[in-house]
Structure 1
Amino acid sequence: MSTSGRPREFKDTAVIDAAMDVFWSNGYEACSTQELCERTGLGRGSLYNAFGSKHDLYEQALQRYHEQGIAAQLDILNRPIAVKNRLRRLLEWAVAADFTSPDRRGCFAINAALERACKDPMVEKVFTRHVERLEEAICGVIKSGQESGEIAADRSAEQLAALFLSSYYGLRVLNTGTQNRLLAEQIIAGALDAIF
């Protein structure tokens, strides 16, 4: 038995992943403790002993989603291929994720930000960190494209990264709300044409 006061190891990935699935599908407000218990396999007492509160568990689920998502996005952006192909693949990765979800639940981080960022500093902090890391990576890719001559250097990499980022997040929201693949393809083409 742990003497450090830290939760037991059973809580880690399996329970957090199960909770993430519930929060992702329902949102924070509509997520009941009963459903969290059913999906994680923990009783109410065990759940609160391990995580402290529903909000603490939500934070761990959102943080885990952030870490997994940013790792996948950075993997795409850091591939040793042409800059245009890296940026295109990131947009295509988003479309694949958004159109293959059976319940059209979109991106958990975006959903959390839309539901709670204005009233929950934790959500604002995690989402801002995610956006900043992605923007930094995109900016780095664009700078490398400018250095190689793939992208004209008449605009700042920061400006182009912000433009791409707005297209990326607009794409994610529209994908979830409309499931319009033609529109998604037009956004991808337009975003790339604006940079290259």
Structure 2
Amino acid sequence: MSIVIPSRLEAERLVHEWTASESLRKHMLAVECAMRAYARHLGEDEELWGVTGLIHDFDYERYPNASQAADVEHPAEGVRHLRTLGWPESVCEAVLGHADYCGVPRETTMAKALFAVDELSGLITACALVKPSRAVADVDVAGVRKKMKDKAFARGVNRDDIVQGAEALGVPLDEHIQRVLSAMQAHAGPLGLAGLTPPSSTTFSGDA
């Protein structure tokens, strides 16, 4: 039985309906880019992996982990909504699996990839935004590794998740970082990471 994959437009509508924060929307876009890159690398379904990455945090703004019960917060509430809409169970389980506290094992490669790229995309974004240029093009693997060691930098990023995620995929950490970084660099504009616009030069006319 073939899986009916929701369209990217459907996923995008969900994101816009549930999420007002521009930075959170861009995070979901970054994860989508990384998931598509991994799908292409592994010969998997790019559309399925892409929409999974795009909607993985769509409920976070409404249910920002304020409750002590994992079943009444992000991402459980979002997954309940996805199921009412008939989204594939593989997507629902991957979204649940990207949050350890849900206790849902990451059994598919797609679920493992989502967990692996989620925190890393956030770290790469932070690395870009502290560059003088604010451009992800100026970020490299060595710089990301250096920032990983700096616990005071981007405190909200779980470094262990990045390392464990790469291990679960069977990918060397540097290769993992490079793949996600390259995906984000290729879509720097929509992610808001193309850098500062240089001041326009003054044009003189006539004799100097």
Q: TM-score with structure 1 length normalisation?
A: 0.30
Name the one with the larger helix percent: 1
